[in-house]
Structure 1
Amino acid sequence: MNNRDLLLMGLGNLFRRKTRTVLTVLGVVIGTCSIVVMLSLGIAMDRGFQEQLSYMGDLTIIDVNNYGYYDGGMGSGGQQIKLDDQSVIQFQKIPRVTAVMPVRSIYMKMAAGRYVGYVNVIGIDPEVMEPFGFSVEDGRLLQASDRDTIVFGKSVAYDFYNPRMQRNYYYGMNRDNPPPVDVLSAKMVMTTDMQYGETRNRWQDDTDSTPPKVYDVRGVGILEESNSEKDYSAYMNRSSLEKIMEEERRNNRNDRSRNDQSQFERVRVKVDNIEDVESVQSAIQALGYQTFSLTDILNSMKETSRMIQGILGGIGAVSLLVAAIGITNTMVMSIYERTREIGVMKVIGAQLTDIKKLFLIEAGLIGFSGGVVGVCFSYLISVGLNHIGAGFMGPGSTSGMSVIPLQLALMAIAFSTLIGIVSGYSPARRAMKLSALEAIRND
């Protein structure tokens, strides 16, 4: 007998006992549906974690800090690692690194007419702005030729206030009104003098120290809102900011020592995709640097998610185990009812392997059909859960309460089919070993 004949015969045997077949398939449906839905909740939770972290920043960016230490070996003491231009070159040579952004920053006082504000000014290289996801809502990004130009974060303009007004602080609280300063058109200056534009005390006026220099600057762009550090900082060409910082240091207006001038506050490393972040991070740590990325938090969340998925999957697996027992019971009962038929097949020359295949095919068909129907019901339940949970998770969430990837659906069908075949293996061997004469005599 060929496989096609065995398949048709198996289908006919299952249809002859429709009630028993439907009930057995129903058990597989419930088991498959349970395990798929349970796992889908865990997958949705995992994606929800990743979505939440994406609001905090780019998951493919690694922050390298300047307080790493390298142990010279054999307990000889630690030598401080410098985060300088040489470090940047080392990071650029690491495979899968897309771009490297050294960062310098200084807190400045900015003024536009009667309005003043405290702004964190960050110096970066203009050519790395696009790789690091900087995009403007208005104006343009920095260019290599820029010297006194600044790109502002979305919220910076709301931090300006009029010090002569009693209720003068905006600090980004009131977004219903336009910001007090148009940073792209206003004539602006910045200085390290934190009292600039404020009412000075007498003791401040009597001091003999030279007041800090005031620098003319102009805004050329406003970044899109990103719910990250970018919203609350201003960016200018790193070389221009370094000149200002050096000039302030020479005038003793900055507490940074000469030795520290070669070091960066931090270096940001852009990786080509999230799967390579851990390997790049490990390579940087091997050089002796302290690193941090959002994937550190994500990995911790994923561990929790895996544990929850294991528990949920175990609950669903219990239902599938019960279904497997039901398949075994159905096949054993089928052997008892078809003992004479098995004997006739052996007498007319059917091979033992064909008899074994017949029962395995029947058990596999039960598992396969139950898996297919179970996956279909799983998708319906998933849609219902997402519809119900949409009101609880907020309009910004895209992951939903239940996510069933195509791989999970296909694996569920394959697994349920395998469960059916495994459950039918013992009854199939029993049918194969039946004595032909005794089987024919059986009523």
Structure 2
Amino acid sequence: MRNFDILLMGLKNLFRRKTRTILTVLGVVIGTASIVVMVSLGMGMNESFEAQLKQMGNLNIINVTTYRNDPDSSGGPQKEIVLDDAAITKISKIEGIKGITPVIESSMKLISGKYMAYVQVMGIDVKSMPNFDYPIAEGRLLQEGDSDKIVVGGNIPQYFYNPKSRYGSVDGQPAVNVLTDKIEATFDMSYGEKQQQQGLGGSDTSDKAPKLYKLKAVGVLDITNDWQKDQYIFMDYLNLKKLMKDAAKAQNGQSQSSMMFDTNSIGKSFDRLMVMVDKIKDVDRIQSEIDDLGYGTNSLADMRKSMQKQSQTIQLVLGAIGAISLIISALGITNTMIMSIYERTREIGVMKVLGCKMGNIRHLFLLEAGIIGLLGGCIGVILSYLASFALNTIGKSFMNSESGGMLSMGMGMGMGDAESRISVIPIWLALTSIAFAIFIGLVSGFSPARRAMKLSALEAIKSE
């Protein structure tokens, strides 16, 4: 028999018992849809985890710290490490690093006329700033030679306030234009405050007025929900170290000061190093290589790995639950094919007498079982996409409307990000599910096909 004839005969046999075929296909539809929807929920949770991590910072950044757990001390004291230019040179040789910068951090108070703002300041290597994906909204990033220049985080303009009125906005807009207004800075956090320190034997004034440093903002970053970018100001680390040393000298001559500088901390070692990895898939490898060099490291990849393991476990459990229904549907396919043999015993006998090959009979029954799996898989995937669309629209709207309860619970489960989806069905999952449904159909039809091949031609012709 030609393959085309086998195909036509298989379709004709399936439609001969339409109700039974439809019910069998329906079982495969339910099984396929169950697997796809269940796995898509796990993928949606993984996508939400990724979105939450991106809000916490850049997944490609590795922080190299001055402390690490000493593997020889089994939980004992940590070993202190010096992060200097030699460490930067050594780490820079690792393949796959896009940029590296030393980091010095401190607190400052910005002054612009009658307005002030408490800020965190980060000193970095201005030459490497473009490598760290700082999104500029206005102005420009820092450049080499910008010793007294700063770049301001997106939220900083909102922090300015008037100590006398406690208001820092005019008609809802920031009262200070950081790019055009004059800005000075001090490390004395009590500068400009009227309140006196009660019970401490001191006041907001001292024998020597705190020194003010002139700064010029050249850029404002876009708001990214990354707190290190939104709530910091950035300047050249060499200039920041110079200002800190100058302020520390001034502090030594004052009996009371709110700068709280530890002069010993302003040394040769940086607070930490930031390493930007070119490709996210290389983060684990590069972090491991930096660890092997004897430095302490941490990154969002550490949290990402634990979240991925949790997500994979959830996907496995959900997929197994969905697979149970598809396995049950396989029993329905087997039952349908066996019943088809009983009903077509005489037909099989005639085919054998007319010289039909055993392989053609096997292919015929496997084809019918495979078509059932194909139809069930395709329809099941279509229903899965519809269910996914409903979950991502109606379900998310319901979660957001119940912000007091469901949304907070969703946050704990990794579903609280407004941009993330509850259900995610990539194309490979849809195609794999269809292929798996066809495979289940072929496996289910294998035994009935062998049974049809073993039928005696004479006995089959005699049967009624």
Flag whether TM exceeds 0.5 (same fold): yes
| 1:184-220 deviation line (CA, Å, top 9, x unaligned) | 2222222223333344789569966x65543211111
Change in Cα spacing, 1:34 to 1:204, as seen in structure 2 (3 Å) is closer
State whether structure 2 residue 292 is matched by structure 1 residue 278.
no
Could you tell me which residue of structure 1 aligns to residue 438 of structure 2? 417
SS in 1 for 2:141: coil
For 1:79 and 1:139, locate their aligned partners in 2 and report how far apart those are by CA, in whole Å. 42
Question: Which region of structure 1 is more displaced relative to structure 2, 99-108 or 237-246?
Answer: 237-246
1:71 and 1:79 in contact (8 A); partners too: no
SS in 1 for 2:173: coil
How big is the shift at 1:50? 1.1
Change in Cα spacing, 1:289 to 1:2, as seen in structure 2 (3 Å) is farther
Could you tell me which residue of structure 2 aligns to residue 54 of structure 1? 54
1:331 and 1:363 in contact (8 A); partners too: yes
2:152 and 2:219 in contact (8 A); partners too: yes
For 1:243 and 1:42, locate their aligned partners in 2 and report how far apart those are by CA, in whole Å. 51
SS in 2 for 1:110: strand
Change in Cα spacing, 1:52 to 1:75, as seen in structure 2 (3 Å) is closer
For 1:289 and 1:64, locate their aligned partners in 2 and report how far apart those are by CA, in whole Å. 7
1:90 corresponds to which letter in structure 2? K
SS in 2 for 1:29: helix
2:385 and 2:425 in contact (8 A); partners too: yes
Once the two structures are superposed, the pairs formed by residues 52-131 of structure 1 within 5 Å of their partners are 52-68=52-68, 80-131=80-131
State whether structure 2 residue 387 is matched by structure 1 residue 381.
yes
Could you tell me which residue of structure 2 aligns to residue 238 of structure 1? 237
2:102 and 2:270 in contact (8 A); partners too: yes
How big is the shift at 1:251? 5.3
SS in 1 for 2:372: helix
2:191 and 2:204 in contact (8 A); partners too: no
Change in Cα spacing, 1:175 to 1:368, as seen in structure 2 (3 Å) is farther
CA RMSD of aligned residues (A): 2.7
Match of 1:186 among 181, 190, 195: 181
How big is the shift at 1:249? 4.6
For 1:408 and 1:255, locate their aligned partners in 2 and report how far apart those are by CA, in whole Å. 57
How big is the shift at 1:72? 7.3
State the TM-score, normalized to the length of structure 2. Answer: 0.86
Q: How many residues align?
A: 436
Match of 2:429 among 398, 408, 412: 408
Q: Give the unaligned 5+ runs of structure 2.
A: 253-260, 402-416
Once the two structures are superposed, the pairs formed by residues 187-206 of structure 1 within 5 Å of their partners are 187-199=182-194
How big is the shift at 1:357? 1.4
1:344 and 1:436 in contact (8 A); partners too: yes
Change in Cα spacing, 1:358 to 1:132, as seen in structure 2 (3 Å) is same
2:176 corresponds to which letter in structure 1? V
Which consecutive segments of 4 or more residues in structure 1 shift more than 4 A? 69-79, 199-208, 249-253, 393-396
For 2:205 and 2:299, locate their aligned partners in 1 and report how far apart those are by CA, in whole Å. 48
How big is the shift at 1:126? 2.0
Could you tell me which residue of structure 2 aligns to residue 340 of structure 1? 346
1:38 and 1:312 in contact (8 A); partners too: yes
Change in Cα spacing, 1:294 to 1:335, as seen in structure 2 (3 Å) is same
SS in 2 for 1:129: helix
Match of 2:304 among 298, 303, 319: 298
| 1:374-395 deviation line (CA, Å, top 9, x unaligned) | 1111111211222212314559
For 1:175 and 1:38, locate their aligned partners in 2 and report how far apart those are by CA, in whole Å. 51
How big is the shift at 1:420? 0.1
Match of 1:266 among 266, 272, 277: 272
2:36 and 2:429 in contact (8 A); partners too: yes
| 1:279-333 deviation line (CA, Å, top 9, x unaligned) | 2222222223332222322322223322322232222112111110000000111
For 2:26 and 2:172, locate their aligned partners in 1 and report how far apart those are by CA, in whole Å. 61
2:67 and 2:78 in contact (8 A); partners too: no
Match of 1:223 among 197, 203, 221: 221
Change in Cα spacing, 1:154 to 1:129, as seen in structure 2 (3 Å) is same
Match of 1:434 among 435, 443, 455: 455
Could you tell me which residue of structure 1 aligns to residue 145 of structure 2? 145
For 2:314 and 2:359, locate their aligned partners in 1 and report how far apart those are by CA, in whole Å. 43
2:68 and 2:78 in contact (8 A); partners too: no
State whether structure 2 residue 257 is matched by structure 1 residue 257.
no
SS in 2 for 1:414: helix
2:439 corresponds to which letter in structure 1? L
1:437 corresponds to which letter in structure 2? L
For 2:343 and 2:75, locate their aligned partners in 1 and report how far apart those are by CA, in whole Å. 79
